Structure 1
């Protein structure tokens, strides 16, 4: 969403963003945490050059105490499920602590991951023709096993262009064929599919898997100032 152009000049939310926001440079290359190799960050460049600056328009702080968890995905802070004032304050206190003290966040533990070994169960009509021959007698293709703890957005955020699709088809098709013809064990099948991770990352439209990162304004304030700010926010 931080790449979206809605608030840029001439777009639908033009009137709701400042001139300084409109004049910010588009995002170039970004570095993201790599859950497959923590020593080598993921290098990411948006495919579209005409993107937003990679940050949101500043929202109002009015009633911030009532709207935790924070961030666009509601991942900063715990969800209490309690709409009462007490419940909202409990959620706010947790979220605002993590907002101003990032070391208290879940960080890489916030990555959405598969809870068990699983597979994608797809009708053959919805996959490239080159993979349709791998369908079972009922017309379904099982892409898997996808290992437990795989980042869900590694798959969910795929948006390959034609060239990437060709490479992915070849890589995944080869792996599935080997899994089927050699009747590989779960562990062996996982090893084959893991080989496709570089291609999956390359075709991912947003390989930023950590869900509670961002918005570090105010994190460099002294602790006393942070506490005072929290009390002030409760009054808005």
Structure 2
């Protein structure tokens, strides 16, 4: 089961995202990416893996609105418009993969080694998309890589992929699918913030309002969880 979920999350999720980014901007993809909490809640509820109520749905929608406010100005400018809907469709397919992983992996992670589950999932996902990479000319491409390229690959494979997936899996082990997925929309907002800090990119005038909305989602869900746990 973990191998199959790994194919979705670490395999086809990244395949769809990277292919979509050839057609649409990262900012537009990030807005679609923010749908993960909503889809996670719906899939988990339909599969009997989690409960769905108005407060959870409100928190998820609020987080999505936060991303739309924070980076929507950049995402939907005329220069970032695509010629068709291929990129948006591929990104939505990626979101479906991620949401399915969130909905089902939480229970599978219980009482199991998170490190082992991460290794199994990443290995399965890598093997699943290897044929696509090979077909695109992986063998000839890597022969032209220099030291800097390999250092970037090591960073993407290590801290950016393996360690972040381990932390997310650990969160799925501790929380319900809805409680874990609600943090996902914060990622594109932080990416925009670091882009402004490191690359001197422009931030939307509504960035702070969007950040406040995105952070409010996890706060609402955690406040309700803390309130229930504190009851005698």
* TM-score of the aligned structures, taking structure 2 as reference length: 0.24
Higher helix share: 2
* TM-score of the aligned structures, taking structure 1 as reference length: 0.24
Which is bigger in relative contact order (C-alpha 8 A, separation at least 6)? 2
Largest Rg, 1 or 2: 1
